[in-house]
Amino acid sequence: MISFVLLAILSCNDEKKETPATDATSATNTDTPAGLPYTATYSSNWSTNVSDADLKTVLQSYKDWADGNMKGLGAAMADTVDIDLSSGKSMHMTNDSLMTMWGKSRDSLSSVVISMDAWHKMYSVDKKDEVVVTWYKEVDTYKSGKADSAYFHDINMLKKGKIVWYSQYKRPILPK
C-alpha cells in the first residue's frame, strides 16, 4: 500500500524527469512480474542505493525540527522545495519562505517529541531519484499546554544532498 501511495504521488509530479539511458547498464521496468493487474507509471525498479549521508540529512532534519533548530532544518532543504502537507495543500516554496512558514508553526510549540519507528532508503534505478521514507509518532505540546499527537509517514526526495520534495501523511491518534 505504501508503495502504491509513493508511486501515485510521484507520478503526479509536474517536474520533467530524465529519460533513462539506453546503454547496457541502464535498468528498466522489466523486473515487474508478468500477470500483475497494474504496471507502475512512475517506476517499479527500486534499490536501496541512497547514501548514508543523505539518510543522515533527512533524519537530522527531524531532529532539528524537534529541537527547534530552524537554521539546521533550513540547511537540509534545497533552495526551492516542493511540499505536500497532510492537509492536502501543495506548495512550491523558496527555502526562506518555507523556513518562515515552518518557523511560525514551530514557535507556537513548547516541545516536540519524535519517536522514529522506521525509515527506508529508496533509489529509483530508472528515474535516478533518491528517496528516504519515514514512519514516526510526533507529540506536539503547544505553549497553551494543549498536546497533540499523530502518526506520520513522510516521503523525502533528495538531489545533491538536499531535500527537494517533502510529502507528509498523517493519521491522528484517537482516544481509546
Q: What is d(CA 9, CA 86) in angstroms, rounded to the nearest whole number?
A: 13
Question: DSSP per residue over 100-121, as a string?
Answer: HHHHHHHHTEEEEEEEEEEEEE
Query: What was the pLDDT predicted at 174?
Result: 82
Q: Where are the beta strands (DSSP E) in the chain?
A: 46-47, 77-84, 90-94, 109-124, 129-142, 147-159, 162-172
> Which residue in the block uniquely carries the three cell numbers 509517514?
153
Cβ atoms of 65 and 57 within 8 Å: the answer is no
Q: By the 8 A CB rule, do 31 and 45 touch?
A: yes
State residue 33's pLDDT score: 74
Supply the pLDDT for residue 44. Answer: 93
Q: What is the pLDDT along the chain (176 residues), one digit of tens a residue?
A: 444 444 444 444 444 334 333 333 334 445 567 899 999 999 999 999 999 999 999 999 999 999 999 999 999 999 999 999 999 999 999 999 999 999 999 999 999 999 999 999 999 999 999 999 999 999 999 999 999 999 999 999 999 999 999 999 999 998 77
- Name the 3-class secondary structure at 97: helix
* pLDDT (0 to 100) of residue 80: 98
pLDDT at res. 114: 98
Cβ contact 99:23 at 8 Å: no
Go through the domains of the chain in sequence order and give each one's CATH number: 45-172 (3.10.450.50)
